[in-house]
Structure 1
Amino acid sequence: MVNRDGFEKRATAEPGDDATDLSEASSPTARMLAWSKNSAAYRLARRMMSERELADAITRKAKSKFEGITQAQLAALAANAVAFGRSMKALDDENYAQLRSASAARSGKSVRAVARKLAEKGIERAIIEEALAEMDELRAAVVYARKKAFGPFRRPDVDADDKRWGKEIASFARQGFGFELAKRVIEMDRDEAEEMLLRPI
């Protein structure tokens, strides 16, 4: 039997059951499951997502859409959405990690920063390590230097004194770049840095 809120419920309770047990044992209705697929399709058509991102988005939306929905139903809807995304070849954490890491490298992000971001998106450690194995962090550091006008890209009117050097090293460190890598980039000449940027990603 389905009540007016769209939930399935049993007509009578088993001995020892209480209202909470009945609620937690209920499964999503067909309408809920259909909604989770449609919502997943809509979200994945707009942008690439990781499995956790999609599951979290479906869970948040379902909480506001279906009054009184249980944790069991929320988990089932999230799992249904993820399974649908996989079946449509629109959800692939390995591909997601590869594309995100390549994009981050082009924008001057460090390996550490990219790894942290992918972990926040729910990507498994093994997938993250594989995606970052081919990342050219030296080139990424040069991109960052160009953005900040550091090292070989420093303006002619800026003094390259110890204070400036320390400021640039500290900025690299805040972005997750190691000391030796930052030092190497800062001490590059302009021609070497420009050549580095021409390397394929």
Structure 2
Amino acid sequence: MVARPSRSAPRPLPPAPDAAVLRAVALAYLARFAATRAAVGQMLERRIDRWVRRALATGMEAEDAARAVAPARDLIPRIVADMEGLGAVDDARFSQSRARSLARAGRSRRMVAAHLGARGVDEATAGEAMEEALGPRDGEGRETELAAALVFARKRRAGPFLRPDADGDEAARRTRRAMEAMARAGFTHDIARQALEMDVTEAEDRIMRMRTA
């Protein structure tokens, strides 16, 4: 009779994360992803939480596990600051890059601000980054917003990008739905209307200028 292979023994629980481990984890993460200070801190918290779950699975008491990782949690702000000092984390640079890419994808300025806020970028940093990347709201930034609205309209096949053979009813329906969608997406009525009424040649030119700026 052939004996069944024995199950491998569970891996032993490693020591709780220390400064060296957390620093290595942060560097490896930032080598793969652009991230904000808040995102790096959250990632390190998750790494510590994973150790706690493994500890509990081995039978460690919850209080003992929490006590074991308390020093690691206290180290997180220092590790994040170290990453910032190395230039691996820069909320302003991240925000500028993300603002440009989101605008080119058809996101409004309001949605860009919400995106950055959700990633832990403070309001002042986000505002300065959008001014730098997209231009002042009442100047160059309005042109960027209009180009983003045109990208949005093109995805909806509305306005300048309506099918040439669409009849009047379909055109009116698509315009109405596009206006509603653009309002939900954070574009003002004025920007949405201007985008939807624009000539297709000018619309494509404006999109191209934004994406190559």
Structure 2 distance, partners of 1:5, 1:169, is 57
Does the Cα contact within 8 Å between 1:59 and 1:77 map onto a contact in 2? no
Q: Which residue of 2 aligns with 1:53?
A: 39
1:85 aligns with 2:83: yes
- Cα offset, 1:182, TM superposition: 0.5
RMSD: 2.0
1:113 to 111, 114, 121: 111
Residue of structure 2 aligned with 1:149, choices 143, 157, 164: 157
Aligned position for 1:137: 145
Paired AA for residue 152 in structure 1 = P
Paired position in structure 2 for 1:23: none
Segments of structure 1 that go 5 or more residues without pairing to the other structure are 8-30
Pick aligned residue for 1:69 from 66, 87, 99: 66
Pair 159,173 (structure 1): closer, same or farther in 2 beyond 3 Å: farther
Secondary structure of residue in 2 paired with 1:155: coil
After TM superposition, list the pairs within 5 Å mapping 1:1-201 onto structure 2. 6=15, 32-66=18-52, 67=55, 68-70=65-67, 72-133=70-131, 134-135=133-134, 136-161=144-169, 162-199=172-209, 200-201=212-213
Which is further off, 158-167 or 95-104?
A: 158-167
TM-score by length of 1: 0.79
Which region of structure 1 is more displaced relative to structure 2, 178-187 or 144-153?
144-153
Runs of 4+ in 1 over 6 A off after TM superposition: none
Between the two proteins, the alignment pairs up a number of residues equal to: 175
Counterpart-to-counterpart distance in 2, 1:69 and 1:77: 14
Q: Kindly provide the CA deviation profile for residues 58-84 of structure 1, in whole angstroms up to 9, marking residues without a partner as x.
A: 001111114413585354232132022
Higher share in helix: 2
What is the CA–CA distance in structure 2 between the aligned matches of 1:184 and 1:160, rounded to whole Å?
19
TM-score (norm 2): 0.75
Distance 2:110 2:168 in 1: 27
- Check conservation: 1:110, 1:175, Cα contact below 8 A: yes
Matched letter for residue 174 of structure 2: R
Distance change >3 Å, CA 35–CA 42, structure 1 → 2: same
Look up the equivalent residue of 1:147 and give its one-letter code.
K
1:69 alignment partner, SS class: helix
1 CA distance for matches of 2:206 and 2:81? 42
Distance in 2 separating the partners of 1:120 and 1:171: 21
Q: 1:125-176: per-residue Cα shift (whole Å, max 9, x none)?
A: 1111112225211111111112221100111232344333211101111211
